[in-house]
Amino acid sequence: MKRRIGILTSGGDCPGLNATIRGVAKACYEKFGSDGIEIVGINDGYSGLINNECKEMEPSDFSGILTMGGTIFGTKRTPFKMMTVVEEDNVDKVKAMKDTYKKQKLDCLFTLGGNGTHKTSNLLASEGLNVIGLPKTIDNDIFGTSVTFGFHTAVDIATDVIDRLHTTANSHGRIMVVEIMGNKAGWLTLYAGVAGGADMIVIPEIPFDIDKLCEACEKREKAGKAFSIMAVAEGAFDTEEAKMKKKERAKKRVEAGEKTASARIAATIEANTGIETRVCVPGHMLRGGSPSAYDRVLATQFGTRAAELLFKEKFGYTVAMVDGEITENKLEDIAGKTKFVDKDDQMVLAARRIGISFGD
């Protein structure tokens, strides 16, 4: 029996998407042969599924993409909270996605994405579609898996940024505040901060006291250190903001003309300590470029495991790594849950032991 599968990538892009797509495709061709499997590429994530923007793929389409960054299918953010909302275009998105699945005569849909993607995947699974997820995000915040593909490459890039800031910070005797992506979870900032030798690490899970950060900078100066490096997650907030609700915090920032706390942190530190302070925001560079060797291997492992789930007709699951083993979780068990950094996480404790300040 010939099988027909669809593959889409949704949410923010990251290194390793193409390597994962390749892993799924090559495992399927190996199992069924090129005549026993048909693969449909869905453009721009769930938007393409809603609008039936699909194309039939050939085996050659998956050659040479192991090292490519980005995604050959394109991606868009289609917020989960809007999936069940009929907007001005009068499109019932859930019905449209189910219709495309049927029109394309799919036996299974593979969804590569982060938290929002997994919530929509679970929704489609609950609507009766055969869905298999694959965990992608540079934030490493998907519940139920110790690591996501894209994370390690982003850590490498962020670490390289911090490495380069050391020399210019030392030359000018400055404090360098480097803002790292991570709106809700601080995994990327934590790992890159430790790997890059940051002196302070500020993450959403540990609200900061600006006075404590200033004290940490002054302590280094008094010890004869000419500079300081501070890694700040874009979603970081202070102890006063921690008392506010999310909407209240957002409103306060809009009124202050700021999106993140990085510029405020830098300005306050310079004003309070008199030490010249600068902000560096690598931004989307963290998402770009070729995946690391680690992520190529992980992507291949995840992609082939997802193909195995297809072979076994085990739908409604997403691939994961748990305790070093490639496994899977039920979508319903992990969808809507975020993996946050625990204050007692081993990496946090290791950072504290070598004198890194979290501003708390």
Cα separation, 86 vs 84, in Å, equals 7
Domain that holds residue 193: 154-287
Instruction: Say if residue 118 is in the same domain as residue 181.
Output: no
Instruction: Say if residue 38 is in the same domain as residue 110.
Output: yes
Instruction: Say if residue 108 is in the same domain as residue 170.
Output: no
Cα separation, 208 vs 166, in Å, equals 23
pLDDT digits (tens, 9 = 90+) for 300-318: 999 999 999 999 999 999 9
Instruction: Say if residue 159 is in the same domain as residue 144.
Output: no
Q: The domain that contains 181 carries what CATH number?
A: 3.40.50.460
163 classed as catalytic: no
Instruction: Say if residue 159 is in the same domain as residue 257.
Output: yes
Instruction: Say if residue 30 is in the same domain as residue 141.
Output: yes
Distances 82 to 3, 86, 139, 333 between C-alpha atoms, Å: 31, 8, 22, 21
Instruction: Say if residue 159 is in the same domain as residue 273.
Output: yes
Q: What is the pLDDT along the chain (360 residues), one digit of tens a residue?
A: 899 999 999 999 999 999 999 999 999 999 999 899 999 999 999 999 999 999 999 999 999 999 999 999 999 888 899 899 999 899 999 999 999 999 999 999 999 999 999 999 999 999 999 999 999 999 999 999 999 999 999 999 999 999 999 999 999 989 999 999 999 999 999 999 999 999 999 999 999 999 999 999 999 999 999 899 999 999 999 999 999 988 888 888 888 888 899 999 999 999 999 999 999 999 999 999 999 999 999 999 999 999 999 999 999 999 999 999 999 999 999 999 999 999 999 999 999 999 999 999
Domain-located, residue 204? yes
Q: Which of 44, 139, 141, 199 is the catalytic position?
A: 139
Domain-located, residue 347? no
Instruction: Say if residue 116 is in the same domain as residue 141.
Output: yes
Instruction: Say if residue 210 is in the same domain as residue 328.
Output: no
- Tell me the pTM: 0.94
Instruction: Say if residue 167 is in the same domain as residue 93.
Output: no
Instruction: Tell me the sheet residues that pair with 178.
Output: 231, 280
Cα separation, 187 vs 205, in Å, equals 10
3-state class of 57 per DSSP? coil
Residues with Cβ within 8 Å of 272's Cβ and at least 6 positions away in sequence, in order, are: 210, 211, 214
Q: Which tokens belong to 221?
A: 């100066």
Q: Please state the domain count of the chain.
A: 2
Instruction: Say if residue 71 is in the same domain as residue 181.
Output: no
Q: The domain that contains 109 carries what CATH number?
A: 3.40.50.450
Instruction: Say if residue 252 is in the same domain as residue 328.
Output: no
For the chain, strand residue ranges (E) read 3-9, 37-42, 54-56, 108-113, 131-135, 175-180, 200-202, 228-233, 277-280, 317-322, 325-330
Alpha carbon 148 to its chain's center? 8
Domain-located, residue 276? yes
State how beta strands 108-113 and 131-135 pair.
Answer: parallel
